[in-house]
Structure 1
């Protein structure tokens, strides 16, 4: 099987509400081997439980989708949330990530990364908050994770 190298692009820490979580660990793709779970994360206004509850969010094919009732507007939601591909640094962090539930408030520390396969395949994190669509997701190597009570 291919060998993958992870190249850090930026240090990354955040505290965010898990708006949705999607387990890809049973899939056989390279992406699933590297990143077994995606979190749709919200911060600022999108970390407020009453706001988060009113915005339906779904995840599939490594993307997240939302509809907004108009308050907050689409731009606000997009600027205060992100679909993040979680790459655990070790099995312990991997286990912690798999136990996270929708609604949890979590604190993360690690790196946004680019993955390079020895076959030339690459998967690269977004480094900006204002992008949407393909390539807009964050790819995060998680060094530490904790749940806030």
Structure 2
């Protein structure tokens, strides 16, 4: 192989690794609430959605949310074939750059975490009630593509169903049906059939 070609291939490989190891930095916005509206949830009679990648899904509520992306995390375990991505979303005060600048937001083990130094920028209850970690199930390749490319700071609009998932052998994964819970079981299991994302309010 010619030396220049070897160097070119090496540069491509290193560049690709850099994109994997160091994702794009978060988008920033001027201080102020980006998304004032609350998520819209409507309970429905249990509606089977059928088999999705080996899991049985049952819709229990319609759900639509417009929010700021706080973090995304690719999962490789814990039913990752059904839910490859967790997306932490914030609205109201949790879409405000001035608030987020004083919080350290992270994800791990299917949970969403936030920390602060000294005093929280807003009451902790307000943080918990205006942010949620969504276990996203993409209903189609178009939605999957939007979710895969999400970047912290983007405004995203998602629509679909909150679902409970089961699988042979006793596996059961229920969704949260409130935005005010915390801890284990507080995340939304969100079957998304429509998704839009951009840098500005949609």
| TM-score, normalised relative to structure 1 | 0.91
Q: Residue in 2 aligned with 1:90?
A: 140
One of 125, 133, 136 as aligned partner of 2:175 = 125
Partner SS state of residue 79, structure 2: helix
1:51 pairs with 2:99: yes
One of 74, 95, 108 as aligned partner of 1:23 = 74
One of 46, 57, 73 as aligned partner of 1:6 = 57
Q: Shift in Å at residue 30 of structure 1?
A: 4.9
Output the CA distance in 2 between the equivalents of 1:53 and 1:23: 24
Q: Residue in 1 aligned with 2:187?
A: 137
One of 11, 14, 36 as aligned partner of 2:84 = 36
Query: Which has the larger share of strand?
Result: 1
Partner SS state of residue 39, structure 1: strand
One of 123, 126, 129 as aligned partner of 1:76 = 126
Q: Shift in Å at residue 52 of structure 1?
A: 2.0
Unaligned 5+ residue runs, structure 2? 1-52
Q: Residue in 1 aligned with 2:6?
A: none
| TM-score, normalised relative to structure 2 | 0.68
Q: Shift in Å at residue 144 of structure 1?
A: 0.6
Q: Structure 1 stretch 134-143 or stretch 117-126: which is displaced more? A: 117-126
The one-character-per-residue Cα deviations of 1:86-125 (angstroms, maximum 9, x if unpaired) are 1100122111100001111100101110011122211111
CA RMSD of aligned residues (A): 1.4
Work out which of the two has the higher radius of gyration on C-alpha atoms and give 1 or 2. 2
Q: Residue in 2 aligned with 1:114?
A: 164
Q: Shift in Å at residue 54 of structure 1?
A: 2.2
Partner SS state of residue 34, structure 1: coil
Output the CA distance in 1 between the equivalents of 2:120 and 2:169: 45
Runs of 4+ in 1 over 3 A off after TM superposition: none
Partner SS state of residue 33, structure 1: coil
Output the CA distance in 1 between the equivalents of 2:78 and 2:169: 12
Partner SS state of residue 31, structure 1: coil
Unaligned 5+ residue runs, structure 1? none
Output the CA distance in 2 between the equivalents of 1:142 and 1:66: 25
